[in-house]
Amino acid sequence: MLRLGDKCICKDKISSPVTKYSELDPALCKELRKIVEALTAPGKGLLACDESPSSLEDRFSELGVENNENSRRDYREMLFTADKCQLSQYISGVILHHETVYQKSTDGIELTEVLRQSNVIPGIKVDKGLLPLFGAKNENTTEGLDNLQERCIQYKHDGCHFTKWRCTYTISETTPSLLAMVANANVLARYATICQSARMVPIIEPEILNTGDYGINRALEVHEEVYSVLFRTLHEHHVYLEGAILKPAMVLPGVQSSTNCTPQIIAEHTLTALQRTVPPAVPAVLFLSGGQSDKDSVVNLNAINAYEGKKPWTLSFCYGRALQNTAMSTWKGKRENASKAQAVLLERAKLCSEAALGVSESESGVCTRKN
């Protein structure tokens, strides 16, 4: 028996098969940390540009743009060829869709190379979408683990250095269920270990959707439950936390709630959830915009970084629509609008960068949810 203060420790007890596992190669750990450091440089965040062709259908249709491979290439090329100095000042990496990784610009340059020339790191979305979770009511898990290691090895060879995988959770009187939390935590953990074995940094996205009618305190409760289960599972799977990034939603009231929350309240609840559940070993938390308006996504991120309290992680952004909305509507599928759309993108990126440093001068507002 091991007693506190004993000088002699029974090593075979400490090194039992239950606790023994193979340590990661030091060179692998160093590479993962190096990628994380580049992605989470002060004032920088990620551009999520991984929309599937089908998810762009409605957005392109509203602009009168035909949704085909060439138009999607033209749009993303417009984004990636914005002024190199400014783009790399605010954006450290871009999450790509599989299609984009293998597309070339109109000049015949691979789009991943276009990003590298701007000192922006290419990444790739590797999950294959949501599917119903059997045994649960109106809850989902995410597929794509089959052949994931082979795909990651190929993506690494083709110039991508980080990945993203999304699982979703809904808040109601009965959800998220323990089944959904445990099942998705195991999927996210397995994804993370596979990616790390392929020398790629996993971005772990447990998105708690803010649909429904509930207040911010209920949201806080669910965020804590989901993250607690998640990080226990990551530990059990021996995920190298120093070589991973968390991409959560901010703690918000449901969109159908009549609750009004100031950015400071959102910051307080969001940081409380993180402080209670996320280990300091995690180097960075990059928030998703989660259905917030373009303005709210900046104001709330700034409030989180300006809020006093323990924040052992880099707190920045990984935004899709919050960065792209205005740029896309300015572009409208026309080459002559490219420079204006790029200027809009860079302005949005600058605002997000300032918010990631907690120095944004954007108007402080109130996050309002009404029926």
pLDDT at position 368: 41
Shortest CA distance to 348 belongs to which of 326, 316, 364, 328?
326
d(CA 175, CA 298): 29
Confidence check: pLDDT of 330 > 80: yes
- Across 22-31, 109-118, 137-146, 346-355, least confident range: 22-31
pLDDT at position 68: 97
Q: What is the pTM of this model?
A: 0.92
- Across 17-21, 22-26, 111-115, least confident range: 17-21
Using alpha carbons, list the distances in angstroms from residue 205 to 30, 54, 102, 245.
Answer: 23, 21, 24, 9
Higher-pLDDT residue of 301, 1: 301
Q: Chain-wide mean pLDDT for the chain?
A: 93
d(CA 269, CA 296): 16
Shortest CA distance to 311 belongs to which of 339, 284, 329, 350?
284
Confidence check: pLDDT of 176 > 50: yes
d(CA 143, CA 166): 10
> CA torsion sign, 282 to 284 to 289 to 292?
positive
Using alpha carbons, list the distances in angstroms from residue 321 to 55, 156, 211, 290, 324.
Answer: 12, 26, 17, 9, 5
- How many other C-beta atoms can be found within 10 angstroms of the C-beta atom of residue 366? 12
pLDDT band at 24 (very low <50, low <70, confident <90, very high): confident
pLDDT digits (tens, 9 = 90+) for 298-311: 999 999 999 999 99
d(CA 36, CA 57): 33
pLDDT band at 1 (very low <50, low <70, confident <90, very high): very low
Catalytic entry in 205, 268, 334, 347: 205
Inter-residue contact 169 to 181 (CB < 8 Å)? yes
d(CA 270, CA 280): 16
pLDDT band at 277 (very low <50, low <70, confident <90, very high): very high
315 three-class SS: strand
Is 173 catalytic? The answer is no
d(CA 130, CA 169): 11
CA atoms within 13 A on the CB side of 132: 5
pLDDT digits (tens, 9 = 90+) for 63-78: 999 999 999 999 999 9
Is 247 catalytic? The answer is yes
Catalytic entry in 44, 125, 164, 247: 247
pLDDT at position 258: 84
**How confident is the model over 271-297, as a mean pLDDT?**
96
pLDDT band at 291 (very low <50, low <70, confident <90, very high): confident
**Position 191, amino acid:** Y
